[in-house]
Structure formats: C-alpha cells, structure tokens
Amino acid sequence: MAFFNRSTPPHIVTLVLSTGIAALSLNIFLPSLPGMARHFGVDYGVMQLTISAYLAMSALAQFLIGPISDRYGRRPVTLVVVAIFTLASVAALFAPTAQTFLAARFVQAVVATTFVISRAAVRDMFPGPEAASRIGYVTMGMSLVPMIGPVVGGVLDAAFGWQANMIVLAASGVGLFWLVWGDMGETVAGGGLGFRAQLRAYPVLFRSQRFWGYALSAASAAGLFYAYLGGAPLVGEKAFGLSPVEIGYYFALPSVGYLIGNWVSGRFATRLGMDKMVLAGTALATAALALALIAALSDGLGPLFFFTTVAITGIGNGLALPSANAGMMSVRPELAGTASGLGATLSIGCGAALSSLTAHFVGLEVSVLRLVAIMFASSLVSVLMMLWVLHRRRALGI
C-alpha cells in the first residue's frame, strides 16, 4: 500500500494526529480536576500541577528534542516519544496516589514534542510563507482534538470516572505509534545535521532579532491560553456554578475559534505575509480580552460572554501562531527543529508560569477579574513584541 511507504514524507493527517494527541493529553481531564483532587485527598492546587508541572516538563523535553530531531531525524524520534507516552499513560491509569499520578504525568509530557517535530517536518518540506500556510492547516486539524477533548473528558468523568480519560490516552498512543510507523517517512535531508555543526550555527540563530521577536510574540500569545487553562476550571465551577460537563462544553469554544483562525491562516498567510498575520492575530486577541476586562470591572461578565471572548482570542491565536512559528524556523532552515524546540520551550515555559500564577491568584477568592487581567496582560505583550520586530525591520530597511 502507498500509505505504508516509509521513504516518502508523511501525510498531513499523520502530522495532525501527532500534534492532536499532545493537545488531548493536556486538556481531556480538565473538567475532572476538582473531582480528582477529592479522589486523591489533596488540594486543587496540587492537582493543578498536572497542568503547570506538565507544561514545565514538556518545555524541557521540547528544548532537548529539537536538536535531537535535527541530528537523528523526525521519524525515529517520534516513534520513541510516542512509545514512552503510551507507557506513561498506563502508569497514570493505575496510580495509587497523587504523587504517583503526577510522576506519570511528568513522563507523559514527552508527547508534547510531537508538536515541535511536526512543525519542523513541515518546514523541511516547504519554504517560509508556504510553511506558515501548511502549519495553519496542520493546527486547524489539530484544533479539532482539544475542541472535543474537554467535552469527551467531562462525559467520561460523569459516566465512568477520571480513569476513563487515561484509558483513552493510552489507546491513542498505541494507534499513533502504528500510524507513524507506517506513514512517517524521513524529511531531514542528508541524514541530519551533526551536533558540532549545530553548535557552530547557534550564534546566528540566537543573535537574530527576527527569531526572538517571533518567538516572544508566540510565547505571549500562547501564554494567555495557558493562563486560561490554569484558572478557568476553578472559575467555571466556583464563580459560574458550572458542572464538569458544562465546563467541558464551554471549553470547546476557544478551540472553535482557533480552528477558524487556522483556516484563515492557511488560506491567506502566503498572500499577506507572516508579519501581517502575526500582528492581526495578536491585536484581535488583545481587543477581545480588553472587552472582557471592561465587563469584569463592571461586574457584567457572565460565563457565555467570558467564554465567547476567549473564543475570539482563539481566532487571533489561530491567525498569529502558524506565521510566528514559521517565521522563527525560517532564520536558519537547517536548524528548524532547534528553532521550533526553543520557541516551544519559551511558549510552554511562559505558559507553565502563567498557569501556576493564575491558579494561585484566581484561587484566593475565585476571581474572574484576576483571570481576565492576567490573560489581557499576556496578550498585550504579544502585540508589543511584534510591533518591536516591525520597527526594527523598518529601521534596518529589511
């Protein structure tokens, strides 16, 4: 069968599912967090570490995996990553204590590197603006998974308990390993770039204002969503009085927005250019959060308005992130994996900090205002970083 030709580049569905399972691992059990805290007899803040500490571990993993995939190739690294994730999911399923569960979650975090590898594989196959368009389509498909993940997780929790979510993740890992084994041909040319050659090329990457501008803008844009993940489950339950199933349904709205933004990015990134797409997306997200902040200050922020404005930020991120990611990988194409990994590390490291910070400050009084304020501040930084890049480009005449 042509589908099982390991010498050809991967089909887009393989890249979509590779990144989709990483997203599923992060958010499928979000509606279950309060119940899981009660099950293990710990505070909500302890179970919230399944998000913030997971993000921190995935940031470290992505920092390491990027250069490794540049050296050894996208295919073998992906296979090892998926195998480790599957075993960790089984361990999480049978965890007897919160500490054991957290340890398994730390190991599960390795699956987040599939996002780095998939982006790098796209950049291997296509140049900058076209890569932005293709990444938009890949993440458009990927956004379907987190859109339904919390909904499915809430339903499974209500019917069978939180353990059902771990069964879904373990089964997904098995299916993805089979898919990658059969379809994902190698995209790195010439057997990969040696570590010594990578070290010689790093200074050019690290000194590039374009790279840091794209990377920091992407990190701040993603940070608003991670802040949302850290505080929204508690706000949904305590401030808005929503059930786990209702929280799951509302959590689908940002992913719907992200899907729309990715579709627009896929259609227009090549025509409009990466910089315009990043600026338009970050500005849209910041404007939506400004409205939510005004409503919160006037005590007029209900669940529907709150989650709708977050959905609009999803559209903005869907516009901005594919182009920002393609931009940072275009500085040194032979270091696409390294640039993707470093950019993802910044994004997730920022996200882990914001998620933990948000859970702390929001949890003090279960304040919707504090959650929106943190999200708005993070989004505003993403706009400022892109404006800085545009200013520097004009000053240098490039």
Residue 71: CB atoms within 10 A of its CB come to 18
Lookup: tokens for 160:
């069978």
How many whole angstroms separate alpha carbon 144 and alpha carbon 254? 11
**250 in a structural domain:** yes
**CATH number of residue 20's parent domain:** 1.20.1250.20
Angle at 340 between CA 338 and CA 342, to 5 degrees: 65
The verdict on residue 350 lying in a domain is yes
- Mean pLDDT, 10 residues at a time, the chain of 398 residues: 58 84 82 81 79 78 80 87 94 89 90 84 74 74 68 82 88 92 78 62 74 88 84 76 75 81 81 85 94 87 86 91 82 72 78 76 73 90 89 71
Q: Please state the separation of Cα 134 from the chain's center in Å.
A: 17
Residue 147 counted as domain residue: yes
pLDDT at 193: 58
Distance, CA of 105 to CA of 307 (rounded, Å): 27
- 213 is a domain residue: yes
What's the pLDDT score for residue 197? 63
CA atoms of 92 and 169, how far apart (whole Å):
10
Residues 6+ apart with CB under 8 A from 136: 262, 263, 264, 265, 266, 269, 318, 322, 323
Does residue 2 lie within any of the structural domains? no
Please choose, from the candidates 286, 256, 281, 302, the residue with its C-alpha nearest in 3D space to the C-alpha of residue 150.
Answer: 256
Which DSSP string do the residues of 154-199 spell out, in sequence order? HHHHHHH-THHHHHHHHHHHHHHHHHHHHH----SGGG---HHHHH
Alpha-carbon Rg of the chain, whole angstroms? Answer: 20
pTM of the model: 0.70
Output the CA–CA distances (angstroms, integers) from residue 248 to 32, 147, 315, 367, in the order listed. 9, 9, 19, 20
What is the domain extent for residue 174? Answer: 8-184+193-396
Q: Which residues contact 110 (CB under 8 A, 6 or more apart)?
A: 57, 58, 61, 65, 81, 84, 85, 88
Terminal alpha carbon distance of the chain: 47
Q: Give the model's pLDDT for residue 287.
A: 95
Within a domain: 19: yes
Assess contact for 264 and 318: CB atoms under 8 A.
yes
Structure tokens at 58: 């995935």
Rounded to whole angstroms, how far apart are CA atoms 223 and 381? 10
Q: Provide the pLDDT for residue 4.
A: 46
Is 172 domain-assigned? yes
- Note whether residue 139 is domain-resident: yes
Of 199, 54, 153, nearest to 113 (Cα)?
Answer: 54
If one counts the domains in the chain, the total is: 1
